[in-house]
Amino acid sequence: MKKSISRRQAIGSISAAAAATTISASLGARRSRTRSRTGRGETSLDSGTRSQRLQAETVVDARTGTPIPFEKFTQEMPIPPVKQPLAVGKQNAPWVVGDCFHGVAPEYYTRTVAEDPTLKYPEKYPEKYYEMRIRDAVGEVIPGVQTPCCGYDGIVPGPTFKSKGLEPIIVRTWNDTHFECSMHLHGGHNPSHGDGYPNFYILPGQARDYYYTNTIPYHHGVPDVGEAPSTMWYHDHGMDVTAHTCVLGMAGFHIQIDDFEQGLIDRNVLPSDPYDIPIMIADKRFNSDGTIFFDPLDHNGYLGDVYCVNGKAHPYFRVQRRKYRFRFLNASNARHIELRLSDARPFVGISNDSWLLPHAIERDSILLSPAKRADVVIDFSKVDANEMYLENILLQGDGRGPDGKLLDRDTQIPGVGLVKFIIEGDPVPGDCSVDVGTELREHIPILESEIEATRVFEFHRRKGAWQINQEFYDEFKSNACPRVGSAERWILRNTAGGWWHPIHIHLESHQIQKIDGQAPPEEWAYKSDTCMLGPNTEAEIFMKFRTFTGPFVFHCHNLEHEDMRMMFVFDPIKDGPKSNQPLSAYYP
């Protein structure tokens, strides 16, 4: 119903009159076909009309690119609304936690640390309750064109969750779509039941209580405050449909600010609301009827030619002459981006993925694979011009990945403008103090002496699909079982020819030690949750497995590759380290 509307509107927006004629012809043809859909006998008429339609499809379909011309930088970039809780505190719980089809995590009742069940994991604030519905919606991504999407609370991006460190929250998520969804809080430290294990679905029409502990693991008996995340995001992780649902818009931000970071804000070191802006960048392709183009049979990786920033195609954003904190997220399926400002002004980098860096660093450009985040500070008070563009300068021809190598990429300046900053007013007095070198969050390195096991994972392509160590994802087998509470060395080796694979590991951060035998660039030298593997790249990482038992997954975050089972399971257990064990728990 809604698509018919959008199609009509889209027809109006297409400049070529010829194109419009063929589209309406195709509409008429579809009607007649749909009516004769019941039997398989009456096909002779259908085949004729279908061929007419197919001719029309060459005009409508976005297989070779979005056929809708539009003027860039005419819409304002929206900031996703902040999700409001239904209630705070156990006595005010709006429903019985766990009383829904898919229940709640057992940890909700125990709150004990897996490596030491006599110990409770840290909590400080009363728990909060939220309710969210995943549903279809129509949005205006390209100016004047209605696009059917699918999003959390029916908006794209989904609402932003803002939580405090050590503040547990429960999100009852209803699935009002026809997809089998599974919501993953990317970059968080949470129990397996609600971690978005691909087969722990929310079936259509049902709900699951997602219990986000917002806690941090222990380090030698003391809470490891270095592990407190800041910029997380949530997105769909349902098996077989992740690529499709994420293209349709199932993604949103979850920003957590703990006491330490709040201190930085209070001392006017870091910008805070309304100068703390999450920016979600995702590339998409649109058919001429305004629908999002997606080909479920294209496994190489979805690439779009329209960049949607917080759900709008190439928007503008008004800023004052002061410092802003931007939380950049690449929410694309396969598109890698490298961000740069049009006047070549360097960014002040303050985080990688979920975690603040030990000190702010200067970054000329910011490379983000799918799922990677980076928080930066831009000081507009030093900009004389009234306009500046945020650009993507990275060249990428197909789903294999960007052109060039991980540390020697093909770029193009000027790049594609993503956001136009319109800078207004005089410099604001009393601005925040953050600058290159400012000390931020402490970092506790994992030591070589703590390593209990070394595992090698080889990512490669064979016969039209991608594998890890010659195997596909098996939802009932845990490929790696570290001892819970221990640290391990993982060698992530990409032998897939020219393919790039951003490897995302759930549960906790990992610390990149080496990339191809060399120390990694400084922005990746501390904590990450997604480790980029360029063509034939080998990364050595250290990682700890604390607080929760599994199962959890790690996988390529090129979502098409993940849907094709380029994914492995790890399950921290008491009597590890082991390999290839049955799962210790399962929460379908």
Q: Which of residues 400-459 bind other proteins (CB under 8 A)?
A: 400
Comparing CA positions, the residue from 80, 222, 229, 72 lying closest to residue 164 is 229
Q: Which of residues 515-554 bind other proteins (CB under 8 A)?
A: 549
**Which span sits near other proteins by CB under 8 A: 27-35, 75-83, 259-267, 373-381?**
27-35
Q: 61 or 452: whose CB is closer to other proteins?
A: 61
The answer to whether the CB of 164 falls within 8 A of the CB of 214 is yes
Q: CA angle 532-535-540, nearest 5°?
A: 50
299 CB-contact burial (10 Å; exposed 0-12 / middle 13-18 / buried 19+): middle
Q: 176 or 431: whose CB is closer to other proteins?
A: 176
* Least distance to other proteins, CB of residue 496, Å: 11
Q: Give the amino acid at 338.
A: E
Give whole-number Cα distances, 399 to 240, 351, 556, 558, 561, in Å: 18, 27, 13, 8, 10
Q: Which of residues 495-514 bind other proteins (CB under 8 A)?
A: 497-498
* Least distance to other proteins, CB of residue 567, Å: 11
Q: Which two tokens stand for residue 236?
A: 């769909």
Q: Which of residues 46-105 bind other proteins (CB under 8 A)?
A: 46-47, 50-51, 53-54, 57, 60-61, 63, 97-99, 101-105
331 part of the interface to other proteins, by CB under 8 A: no
Q: Which two tokens stand for residue 172?
A: 């009852």
- Going by the DSSP 8-state scheme, the letter that residue 41 receives in this structure is S
Distance CA 555, CA 569 (A): 9
Q: 54 or 407: whose CB is closer to other proteins?
A: 54
**Which span sits near other proteins by CB under 8 A: 306-314, 317-325, 334-342, 463-471?**
463-471
* Least distance to other proteins, CB of residue 341, Å: 32
Q: Which of residues 351-390 bind other proteins (CB under 8 A)?
A: none
Q: 174 or 275: whose CB is closer to other proteins?
A: 174
Length of the chain: 588
* Least distance to other proteins, CB of residue 312, Å: 22
111-143 burial, b if ≥16 CB within 10 A, otherwise e? bebbbeeeeebbeeeebbbbbbebbebebbbbb
Helix (H, G, I), strand (E, B) or coil at 174: strand
No. of H helices and E strands in the chain? 7, 40
Helix axes 2-13, 17-35, angle to 10 degrees: 160
577 part of the interface to other proteins, by CB under 8 A: no
Q: CA angle 184-202-571, nearest 5°?
A: 50
Q: Which two tokens stand for residue 165?
A: 């460190």
* Least distance to other proteins, CB of residue 463, Å: 4
* Least distance to other proteins, CB of residue 217, Å: 17
**By CB under 8 A, how many residues form the interface with other proteins?**
91
Q: 4 or 433: whose CB is closer to other proteins?
A: 4
240 part of the interface to other proteins, by CB under 8 A: yes
Q: 408 or 575: whose CB is closer to other proteins?
A: 575
* Least distance to other proteins, CB of residue 561, Å: 11
Q: Which two tokens stand for residue 235?
A: 């997105």
123 part of the interface to other proteins, by CB under 8 A: no
> What separation, in Å, do the N-terminal and C-terminal C-alpha atoms of the chain show?
34
Q: Return the residue of 92, 343, 476, 580 that touches other proteins, per CB under 8 A.
A: 476
Q: Return the residue of 142, 438, 573, 576 that touches other proteins, per CB under 8 A.
A: 573
Q: Return the residue of 159, 399, 551, 576 that touches other proteins, per CB under 8 A.
A: 399
Q: Return the residue of 76, 126, 574, 580 that touches other proteins, per CB under 8 A.
A: 574
579 part of the interface to other proteins, by CB under 8 A: no
245-265 burial, b if ≥16 CB within 10 A, otherwise e? bbbbbbbbbbbbbbeebeebb
Site string for other proteins, 168-197 (x = CB under 8 A): --------x-x-x------------x----
Q: Which of residues 266-305 bind other proteins (CB under 8 A)?
A: 287, 289, 291, 295-300
Q: Return the residue of 564, 568, 569, 576 that touches other proteins, per CB under 8 A.
A: 564
